[in-house]
């Protein structure tokens, strides 16, 4: 790209444009680059030093990782391990940071996974499984696929192989061990930048969910797989997997309040009022002395405008000793849901007089209610949504409920 075209761009955008130019160059000249890797990376370093003086080490190394990924993706090294290691070696030398080898190893490991070089993939990835759940699942997947290959070979030799009597082979045991380690340590999800460089390969997603599914079958009483899976589904906004995991969780661990609460909020998220109400009933059966199920019952009654049910939950909460300002504020929320912003504003002003210690907060809610009374429907919907979410957060905080 000509320098004058880059001159007016912000540094991050300029770096992206240059990276995309290098991608195009790699795509068109992969044979030449493969034969002269040291020269190519030396050219990249010179360009970065000249065009981006003061570039932070992290951004510099991410740029090198991105080009390394492109070279491997275009060249398809497959079983050519010496070439892959040569690419990685030159990439590491081109980087500045203390963790230069980490990013290169992860990118290479995923490329080997795609090439079905499972033992080599484990060699590159195993050291980093604590950094991201996807990497732990990728290592377990590698072992599992090796076990499947071994089983396929055994089936060819044994005519009447009884699958039910079969004992797990060495690789399957390693896969199970890796998944148990993941469940116990619960590493972060979507935390490794090198996975984002690759836009998380579809293979990685499939490997993760396959291994979670296998682990739930291998270890049905282990909650850790459900917790890791739910976090992954939440971050990926994967409603299908979230729904499936919550179904399993609430069936196997029907008296676990965390899973019930997650199911309740999921039902609200997908606008399933009847489903949310059913979860509240289950909560009340399992935790008859708890205040949280009553609060959730009050909330779903307000959202569904069931006044008689709402009044019943409100009375029960007051009998349990809930601070009076919480149901009083929920009364205002009920009016908002019932499309009565003016009445809600009057009620809120009354609350400001009764509870002066919350004046700062109620004043911000007044602003939202004024917005909710606007004739602009877009502003009204947005203000109502923010108001209801804010009231929910406030009430849960006052009750000591983790959101």
pLDDT digits (tens, 9 = 90+) for 123-144: 999 999 999 999 999 999 999 9
The mean pLDDT value for 204-232 works out to 96
Per-residue pLDDT at 153 exceeds 70: yes
Question: If you average pLDDT over every residue of the chain, what do you get?
Answer: 91
Q: How far is 84 from 109, CA to CA, in rounded Å?
A: 10
Residue 374 neighbours by CB distance under 10 Å: 13
Tokens of 94: 């081109």
Does residue 339 contact residue 383 with C-beta atoms inside 8 Å?
Answer: no
Q: How far apart are the first and last CA of the chain?
A: 49
Per-residue pLDDT at 399 exceeds 80: yes
Q: How far is 325 from 144, CA to CA, in rounded Å?
A: 56
CA–CA distance from 132 to each of 99, 128, 136, 368 (Å)? 16, 8, 7, 40
Q: Give the rounded distance of the alpha carbon of 230 from its chain centre.
A: 8
Per-residue pLDDT at 155 exceeds 80: no
Per-residue pLDDT band for 197 (boundaries 50, 70, 90) equals low
Per-residue pLDDT at 66 exceeds 50: yes
Per-residue pLDDT band for 1 (boundaries 50, 70, 90) equals very low
pLDDT digits (tens, 9 = 90+) for 42-58: 999 999 999 898 899 99
The whole-model pTM stands at 0.87
pLDDT digits (tens, 9 = 90+) for 253-271: 999 999 999 999 999 999 9
Does residue 298 contact residue 317 with C-beta atoms inside 8 Å?
Answer: yes
Q: What is the DSSP letter of 126?
A: G
Does residue 362 contact residue 351 with C-beta atoms inside 8 Å?
Answer: yes
Does residue 139 contact residue 147 with C-beta atoms inside 8 Å?
Answer: no
Per-residue pLDDT band for 152 (boundaries 50, 70, 90) equals confident
Per-residue pLDDT band for 195 (boundaries 50, 70, 90) equals confident
Per-residue pLDDT band for 159 (boundaries 50, 70, 90) equals low
The mean pLDDT value for 261-282 works out to 95
Per-residue pLDDT at 327 exceeds 90: yes
Residue 354 neighbours by CB distance under 10 Å: 11
pLDDT of residue 220: 97
pLDDT of residue 162: 62
Q: Please list, in sequence order, all residues whose beta carbon lies within 8 angstroms of the beta carbon of residue 40, skipping any fewer than 6 positions away.
A: 33, 90
Phi, psi of 172 (to 5 degrees): -65, -40
Tokens of 359: 């004046």
Per-residue pLDDT at 211 exceeds 60: yes
Q: How far is 253 from 230, CA to CA, in rounded Å?
A: 15
Per-residue pLDDT at 342 exceeds 90: no
Greatest pairwise CA separation for the chain in angstroms: 84
């Amino acid at each position: 790209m000509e320098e004058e075209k880059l001159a007016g761009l912000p540094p991050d955008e300029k770096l992206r444009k240059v990276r995309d130019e290098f991608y195009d160059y790699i795509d068109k000249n992969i044979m030449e680059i493969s034969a002269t890797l040291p020269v190519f990376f030396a050219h990249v370093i010179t360009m970065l030093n000249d065009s981006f003086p003061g570039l932070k080490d992290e951004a510099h190394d991410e740029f090198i990782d991105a080009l390394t990924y492109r070279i491997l993706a275009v060249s398809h090294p497959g079983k050519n391990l010496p070439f892959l290691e040569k690419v990685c070696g030159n990439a590491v030398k081109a980087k500045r940071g203390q963790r230069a080898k980490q990013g290169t190893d992860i990118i290479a490991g995923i490329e080997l996974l795609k090439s079905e070089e499972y033992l080599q993939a484990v060699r590159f990835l195993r050291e980093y499984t604590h950094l991201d759940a996807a990497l732990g699942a990728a290592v377990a997947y590698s072992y599992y696929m090796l076990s499947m290959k071994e089983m396929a070979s055994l089936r060819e030799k044994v005519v009447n192989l009884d699958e039910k009597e079969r004992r797990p082979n060495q690789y399957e045991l390693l896969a199970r061990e890796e998944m148990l380690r993941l469940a116990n340590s619960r590493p972060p999800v979507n935390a490794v930048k090198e996975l984002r460089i690759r836009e998380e390969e579809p293979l990685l997603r499939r490997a993760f969910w396959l291994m979670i599914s296998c682990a739930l079958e291998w270890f049905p009483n282990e909650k850790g797989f459900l917790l890791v899976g739910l976090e992954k589904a939440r971050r990926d906004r994967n409603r299908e997997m979230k729904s499936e995991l919550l179904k399993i969780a609430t069936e196997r661990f029907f008296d676990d309040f965390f899973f019930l609460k997650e199911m309740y909020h999921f039902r609200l998220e997908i606008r399933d009022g009847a489903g949310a109400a059913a979860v509240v009933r289950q909560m009340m059966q399992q935790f008859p002395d708890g205040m949280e199920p009553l609060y959730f019952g009050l909330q779903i009654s307000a959202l569904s405008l069931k006044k008689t049910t709402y009044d019943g939950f409100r009375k029960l909460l007051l009998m349990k000793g809930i601070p009076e300002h919480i149901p009083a504020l929920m009364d205002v929320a009920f009016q908002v849901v019932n499309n009565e912003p003016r009445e809600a504003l009057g009620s809120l002003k009354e609350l400001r007089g009764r509870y002066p210690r919350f004046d700062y907060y109620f004043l911000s809610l007044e602003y939202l209610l004024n917005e909710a009374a606007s004739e602009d429907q877009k502003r009204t919907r947005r203000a109502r949504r923010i108001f209801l979410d804010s009231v929910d957060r406030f009430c849960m905080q006052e009750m000591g409920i983790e959101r």
